[in-house]
């Protein structure tokens, strides 16, 4: 049974001895939010400890620690594991999330592994499968200026020897678009010659603006 816990609507304000000062015009407020106010939704029955600070581009919480030569930014789950183990982690050691929650830094949700272990875990949990690609072809594309019937008409007129500039003016597109449609560099999937199939590259080009 998955338990979802949500943030309480109220926020408690305390006045501790040590707190961050926030300047608001001429008034200085000392504001402190308690840890209980930061309870966030969790994807499993065992509550995750979710990082509330900055994050990396990959979605992991990050934390700055003081070093002799300055500040160093590390991920929060690796920092938590170093604190629990009492030693620095080796570069070959990967900290894996058993809960699959990248913002979690609860030690009992973490484990040490290798790159192979991490990849194996990814395959076993089905996360190695790429999501399906959604292609919006032809008039289904929101930026398409032409319909399927218009493209057929353009090809017929080009094949009959009509002026390309005149055709482009009639359909309010550029000469380059007309030429690309006639040569099947665009809309190649529509009525392929001899009943064949267009290549995936051609299909993706058909979704471009103005196609």
Residue 172 to residue 86: CA distance in whole angstroms: 69
Residue 92 to residue 115: CA distance in whole angstroms: 8
What does the pLDDT read at residue 181? Answer: 94
What does the pLDDT read at residue 178? Answer: 95
Answer whether residue 47 shows pLDDT above 80: no
Residues in contact with 192: Cβ distance below 8 Å, sequence separation at least 6, in sequence order: 184, 198
Answer whether residue 65 shows pLDDT above 50: yes
Could you count the other beta carbons within 10 Å of the beta carbon of residue 65? Answer: 10
CATH number of 20-124: 3.90.75
The vertex-38 CA angle with 32 and 44, nearest 5°, equals 165
Per-residue pLDDT tens digits for 150-183: 999 999 999 999 999 999 999 999 999 999 999 9
Give the residue with greater pLDDT, 1 vs 135.
135
What does the pLDDT read at residue 195? Answer: 60
Answer whether residue 196 shows pLDDT above 70: no
Per-residue pLDDT tens digits for 7-40: 444 444 444 444 444 455 444 444 444 444 444 4
The DSSP secondary-structure symbol of 50 reads B
The residues of the chain that CATH labels 3.90.75 are 20-124
pTM (2 d.p.):
0.42
């Amino acid at each position: 049974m998955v338990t979802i816990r949500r943030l309480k609507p109220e926020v408690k304000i305390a006045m501790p001895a040590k707190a961050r000062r926030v300047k608001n015009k001429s008034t200085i407020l000392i504001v402190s939010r308690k840890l209980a106010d930061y309870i966030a939704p969790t994807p499993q029955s065992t509550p995750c400890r979710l990082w509330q600070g900055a994050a990396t581009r990959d979605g992991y919480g990050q934390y700055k620690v003081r070093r002799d030569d300055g500040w160093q930014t590390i991920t929060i789950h690796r920092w938590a594991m170093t604190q629990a183990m009492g030693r620095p982690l080796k570069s070959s050691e990967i900290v894996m999330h058993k809960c699959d929650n990248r913002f979690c830094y609860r030690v009992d949700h973490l484990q040490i592994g290798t790159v192979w272990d991490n990849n194996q875990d990814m395959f076993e949990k089905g996360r190695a499968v790429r999501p399906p690609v959604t292609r919006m072809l032809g008039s289904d594309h929101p930026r398409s200026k032409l319909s399927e019937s218009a493209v057929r008409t353009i090809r017929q007129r080009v094949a009959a020897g009509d002026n390309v500039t005149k055709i482009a003016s009639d359909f309010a597109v550029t000469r380059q678009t007309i030429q690309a449609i006639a040569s099947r560099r665009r809309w190649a999937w529509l009525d392929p010659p001899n009943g064949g199939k267009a290549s995936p590259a051609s299909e993706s080009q058909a979704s471009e603006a103005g196609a």
